[in-house]
Amino acid sequence: MPRILDGNRVRDEILAELKPRVAALAAKGRPPGLAVVLAGRHPASEIYVRNKVKSCEELGIYSETLTPADSIATEELLALVERLNARADIDGVLVQLPLPPQVDSKRILMAVAPEKDVDGFHPCNVGKLVAALPGPRACTPAGIIELLKRNGMAISGKRAVIVGRSDIVGKPAALMLLHEHATVTICHSRTPDLPAVCREADILVAAIGRAAMITGEYIKTGATVIDVGMNRLDSRADVARIFRNSPEKLAIFDKRGSVLVGDVDPVDVVLKAGAYTPVPGGVGLLTVAMLMANTVAAAERRAAAC
């Protein structure tokens, strides 16, 4: 049986390490502060934000969630971000994506002050990542690295293949793995013979956003498979097909009306991988933990500068 890389344990380790750092900041004057902007109605984003707020409460981080109307204009949202940039009690500003369609997302993300950009998306912080300089890192890729390291999985000298080239996961994950001395290939929809390229991977990162797309033909026997996908199946027929008529998954669907699945086929990965991340219970948990880590680090940098 392959090894399951449990995100719960790694998340709990990271949060436990952050608690004394939060307490130390609070003892010096105030705890770290995180502001989350959630514009529009997006169920997955709302769940994610609730998880962030819960983690802040557990750590003693001050959190504030701002929920402007989904009709908000770009200029109004820019003004809101600027107010958060100016607040002394806020160390991190996170604008939850996706934003409503009328909003210029790039302008909004660029408006967040680099020192408060706890998502690690601002070009200044992307540049620091490229140059291997200290700074906030994109949370999901940073979580992948922590998951691998804290499970004792070798990265140096390994062949890593990433399926997906997004600015949020694929590109920063490639850079972080490169800094850990892996040989990295980024794949996407125009990569010829994608299964053959993926089969070269010792570490395969699936971040394509398509339910169970990465089947057994993509996975080298014994590879470490990191599944970043979080796809909701709303069809019982799809659940039956992807999970091979699993009574457990069908019962979950009948109770909840949906089932989560990653970008990797959940049956094939057990047959082929040497280690893999489950969905749920894998990378997603680390995304929130790394956001907390970025927020605490931002507060420490600001406190040191005072």
Catalytic residue among 91, 96, 171, 265: 96
The yes-or-no answer on residue 89 being catalytic is no
Which residues make Cβ contacts (< 8 Å) with residue 258, sequence separation at least 6?
232, 233, 234
CA-to-CA distance for 298 and 115, rounded, in angstroms? 7
Task: Give the torsion sign (CA, 228, 234, 239, 242).
Answer: negative
51 neighbors 65 (Cβ within 8 angstroms): no
The yes-or-no answer on residue 119 being catalytic is yes
The yes-or-no answer on residue 106 being catalytic is no
Query: What single DSSP character describes residue 156?
Result: T
CA-to-CA distance for 65 and 5, rounded, in angstroms? 31
Catalytic residue among 91, 116, 117, 119: 119
210 neighbors 189 (Cβ within 8 angstroms): no
Tally the residues of the chain: 306
Instruction: Give burial (CB, 10 Å; 0-12/13-18/19+) of 2.
Output: middle
Which are the catalytic amino acids?
52, 96, 119
